[in-house]
Amino acid sequence: MLRISVDIPWKCNGIMSTEMAENPHGKSITFLRGICNSIDEIEFVESSSIYNITVRIRGRSGRHYEVVASRPVGLFMGVPWETEVTGAAWKSDFNTEKSRAYTAKLCLNIHEEKQHLPIGDRLASLALSLHNDIKLAMDIPLVAQFIVCPRNELLKVHIFQDEMIVTTDLLNDEFYDEEPSEFLDSDDEFDFLESIANFWHSQDNEEPLGLESPDGNWARELEHDIMRRYERVND
């Protein structure tokens, strides 16, 4: 998972001092808020703790993402921030514990070259990448797998990883004690390209999302199909 490290400014009664707001961390949070305020699909979720920063994003695919950066309480602890990305088909799936069962984690290790930057800058960069998730899916297959995964199937998924898709059943069965063949991977029983080609129909019963391409470039076809539906919905 993405790990980032930065010093934290002092915050008293929910108000950051002018001096602290001018340090690198404070400036980075101001920058992050500016990004959120300028793009309707990126939301800064207010928190009572300076050790927990949450941003929610609606991708161009129509999928939703929640990015949470956190670290233990303690201003001078030299521990890194931990960033977790969770994806959902519906924005409302983030609202309750029950609906969060339909969300899944995404193990993203992107922007590693930016680890020297303050946390706000990193989150802004990550949020912009997730906002353009269709382009991101061209480079990171697990994002494409998440985008095409039906909401009901997300109920069975714990985390999308590069190596495999870990299901809740595997976790419940203590999957780390099983043979590697027991794991779910993209070439086995969770083969999106063959099993869910007909899952995504628009409200007016248009043709299903096409995942096959004559030249085998399914990711590019995926991008075109998703963008076509996105544009129709927003016309």
pLDDT, tens only, 71-83: 887 655 567 888 9
On whether residue 186 sits in a domain, the answer given is no
On whether residue 231 sits in a domain, the answer given is no
Residue among 185, 107, 91, 187 at smallest CA distance from 140? 107
Residue 118 has pLDDT above 50, yes or no: yes
Residue 215 has pLDDT above 70, yes or no: no
pLDDT at 212: 41
Asked if 207 and 229 touch (Cβ cutoff 8 Å), the reply is no
pLDDT at 226: 58
Residue 26 has pLDDT above 70, yes or no: yes
**Residues 6 or more apart whose Cβ sits within 8 Å of residue 128:** 35, 42
* Chain CA centroid to CA 102, Å: 14
On whether residue 105 sits in a domain, the answer given is yes
Asked if 122 and 35 touch (Cβ cutoff 8 Å), the reply is no
Residue 198 has pLDDT above 60, yes or no: no
Number of domains in the chain: 1
Range of the domain at 19: 3-175
Long-range pairs, 197-200, Cβ under 8 A, ≥24: 199/148, 199/150, 200/148, 200/150, 200/229
On whether residue 183 sits in a domain, the answer given is no
Residue 56 has pLDDT above 60, yes or no: yes
**More confidently predicted of 78 and 52:** 52
Tokens of 64: 């939703």
On whether residue 233 sits in a domain, the answer given is no
pLDDT at 139: 93
pLDDT at 50: 85
Q: Find tokens 């001092």 and name the residue.
A: 17
On whether residue 190 sits in a domain, the answer given is no
On whether residue 228 sits in a domain, the answer given is no
Q: How far is Cα 212 from Cα 185, in angstroms, rounded to an integer?
A: 19
